[in-house]
Amino acid sequence: MDNIFLTGFMGVGKTSVGRAVARQLGWTYVDTDDVLERIAGKSIASVFAEDGEDAFRLLESQALAEVSGAERQVISTGGGMVKSPANRTLMRESGFVVCLEATPETIVQRLFPNGVGQGTVRPLLRGANGETPLERARVLKAERAEAYSHAEWTVHTDTMAVSDVAQEVIRAARKVGGVDNGPSRGAPDLAAVVRSSAHSCPIFAGTGVIDRLGELCRDVGLTTTAYLISDSNVFYSHGRRAQVALESADIPVHTFVVPAGENSKSLETLELVYQWLAEQRAERGHFVVGLGGGVVGDLAGFAAATFNRGLPLVQAPTSLAAMVDASIGGKTAVNLEAGKNLVGAFHQPRLVVAEVDALQSLPERELASGWAEAIKHGLILDEDLFQTFEEHAEAICRLERPLADDVVRRSMAVKADVVSRDERETLGLRILLNYGHTIGHALEAATAYGELLHGEAVAIGMTAAVRISRWMGLIDDDLVARQDALLKRFNLPTSLPGADRDAVRQAMSVDKKTSAGSIRWVLLEGCGRSTTRNDVPAEIVEDALEAVT
């Protein structure tokens, strides 16, 4: 069975390496800790505190059993998972097992980058009788050494970059483990593959990929007539390339251009699209291509979801926000006077093709707004991505190649991974993508959607959320400062002085993440680690609002 299991002590890099391996193979990434917390209905720290380690180990085995039945997954396991012979056997039977190694000194440095005593100590590193985390790590590693030795391959990560470790894992999986990721999976422009209940959806991003649109459509079985929907800004700059690419692959194309802007995401415009599709005699075997930003993606997606009870959909996003967020996940909708996105459907695309060269024509403000969503992905789920933004902010803003292509692909992969694991927001994982959105959406509504771009509102919302995270004791001041500094380097706002706080509070009260009167906040537990809380005191929320308005 094609799976890759990553074992090893805490702090060796299983999460960041696992995501990198999954991204390069086009597989699904799974962390058994996430599955365990879903089964338990509470955090790992709470399981240890309330139920003890024995209960935790039982839940750990249940989580492993649940994930082992699927294929084409990269699975990060808990540090003590291998202590159980039954767990080791199940992993060997279900895939290729790689142990990531590091010295206790390296591990403690990674877990406590600001020094021991700064940040949260993991439950198993809380030693008795004055035992330090380093001493405790040495003891635990020695106890588990025999269990870790059962892995089929070992990679020592102390001095290696995440990307290098990922390459070594893939090399070993192919050469030793016999893992076959398919002839097209390693394509350099492949960012990820979304695996949904309906089908798999490969996601491509890079310079020149729009010229391969027809070829890529054929690769996923779309060979009949295409109905390309775009807007008046995008079509005349990129529409001809898309049209030529489809026709060069012997795919007939019909085009429909809507006025640029949010007003086109309406029932009135949708009806015009329906009438056009009917006039062109669109059949269920034909497919729709949405070429443009979020408005076109939503409009074309909803038309595809509903015309003739559903046509296949290809998303070809041209804005950064659409690339890293809106085009992935299958959410489609149009607006009503009563509110945004009130009429819609989940309709997973068959293919996503993001032409990064299209970003060159975006206004600086719109480009910065898109980076807010990409930075958010790093903060909530991918520390290595966030660090890349920190190390290369100015080069990324200038869209330097190949760096820009790479960070776009990596951000898209984070969203794709979450969608693959929680397609319809039923498991609670997909809500993590709403970091910064509670106050961000409220600010958009309070300003009548006319003052802030969506990413700008999200950046301000993230500024509030990171402070709530700090005041709830989840993170330290360093991460607050790092987030603030990075947002400013990307020319994103961190406050909106003079905003109507009463209007913001009113908008928050009807937030879709509100249940039984309590807002479900997405907060940070560290860089690349996030959680949800519905117990944030009202006074902390008020302090956060005061900090950003």
Whether residue 373 lies in the annotated active site: yes
Active-site hit among 454, 467, 470, 520: 454
> Cis omega (within 30 of 0) on the bond before 402?
yes
Active-site hit among 19, 72, 195, 331: 331
Active-site hit among 434, 456, 470, 525: 434
| Topology annotation, domain 423-548 | Dehydroquinate synthase-like, alpha domain (1.20.1090)
Q: Given this model, what pLDDT does residue 186 score? A: 45
Q: Given this model, what pLDDT does residue 530 score? A: 93
Pairing of the two strands 351-355 and 313-317:
parallel
Active-site hit among 430, 467, 470, 520: 430
**pLDDT(115) > 70:** no
Q: Contact, 224 vs 250, CB < 8 A? A: no
Whether residue 129 lies in the annotated active site: no
Cβ neighbour number for residue 466 with a 10 Å cutoff = 27
| Cα 60 to Cα 54, 79, 81, 234, distances in angstroms | 10, 10, 7, 49
Whether residue 350 lies in the annotated active site: no
**Percent of the chain clearing pLDDT 90 (strictly above):** 58
Per residue in 276-292, pLDDT (tens digit) is 999 999 998 899 999 99
Cα–Cα distance, 371 to 517 (Å, whole number): 32
Q: Given this model, what pLDDT does residue 114 score? A: 66
* DSSP result, 313-382: EEEEE-SHHIIIIITSS-EEEEEETTEEEEEEEE---SEEEEEGGGGGGS-HHHHHHHHHHHHHHHHHH-
Q: Given this model, what pLDDT does residue 116 score? A: 55
**pLDDT(184) > 50:** no
State the average pLDDT over residues 325-337.
Answer: 91
pLDDT band at 177 (very low <50, low <70, confident <90, very high): low
Q: Where in the chain is the domain with CATH 3.40.50.300?
A: 3-175
5 bridge partner residues: 75, 97
Nearest to 332, CA basis, from 229, 259, 417: 229
Q: Given this model, what pLDDT does residue 164 score? A: 82
**pLDDT(117) > 70:** no
Whether residue 331 lies in the annotated active site: yes
Q: Contact, 98 vs 6, CB < 8 A? A: yes
**pLDDT(145) > 80:** yes
Active-site hit among 195, 350, 437, 467: 437
Whether residue 398 lies in the annotated active site: no
Please give the structure tokens belonging to residue 51: 């139920």
Nearest to 177, CA basis, from 74, 61, 309: 74
Active-site hit among 37, 60, 355, 373: 373
Q: Given this model, what pLDDT does residue 438 score? A: 94
pTM of the model: 0.70
| Amino acid at the residue 355 | E
**pLDDT(176) > 80:** no
Burial code (b: 16+ CB inside 10 Å, e: under 16) for 158-190 equals eebebeebbbbbbebbeeebebebeeeeebebb
**pLDDT(129) > 50:** yes
Q: Given this model, what pLDDT does residue 284 score? A: 86
Active-site hit among 66, 152, 390, 425: 425
Q: Where in the chain is the domain with CATH 1.20.1090.10?
A: 423-548
**pLDDT(198) > 90:** no
Cβ neighbours of residue 520 closer than 8 Å, sequence gap 6 or more: 431, 513, 514, 532, 533, 534
State in words which class domain 190-362 has. Answer: alpha beta
Lowest mean pLDDT among 224-233, 273-282, 290-299, 416-425: 416-425
Q: Given this model, what pLDDT does residue 516 score? A: 54
Element at 101 (helix H, strand E) = strand 96-101
**pLDDT(185) > 50:** no
Q: Given this model, what pLDDT does residue 108 score? A: 84
Q: Contact, 408 vs 354, CB < 8 A? A: yes
Q: Given this model, what pLDDT does residue 119 score? A: 47
**pLDDT(122) > 90:** no
Q: Given this model, what pLDDT does residue 472 score? A: 95
Cα–Cα distance, 171 to 21 (Å, whole number): 10
pLDDT band at 182 (very low <50, low <70, confident <90, very high): very low
Q: Given this model, what pLDDT does residue 327 score? A: 94
Active-site hit among 23, 238, 441, 467: 441
Q: Where in the chain is the domain with CATH 3.40.50.1970?
A: 190-362
**pLDDT(234) > 60:** yes
Cα–Cα distance, 185 to 511 (Å, whole number): 39
**pLDDT(187) > 80:** no
Whether residue 309 lies in the annotated active site: yes
| Topology annotation, domain 3-175 | Rossmann fold (3.40.50)
Say if residue 338 is exposed, middle or buried (CB neighbours under 10 Å; 0-12, 13-18, 19+).
exposed
Per residue in 494-520, pLDDT (tens digit) is 999 999 999 999 988 876 555 556 889
Whether residue 437 lies in the annotated active site: yes
State the average pLDDT over residues 258-281.
Answer: 95
**pLDDT(432) > 90:** yes
Cα–Cα distance, 403 to 163 (Å, whole number): 14
**pLDDT(424) > 80:** no
State the average pLDDT over residues 396-407.
Answer: 93
Cβ neighbour number for residue 397 with a 10 Å cutoff = 17
* Number of helices followed by number of strands (H, E) in the chain: 22, 18
Nearest to 545, CA basis, from 473, 442, 472, 434: 442
Active-site hit among 415, 421, 467, 520: 415
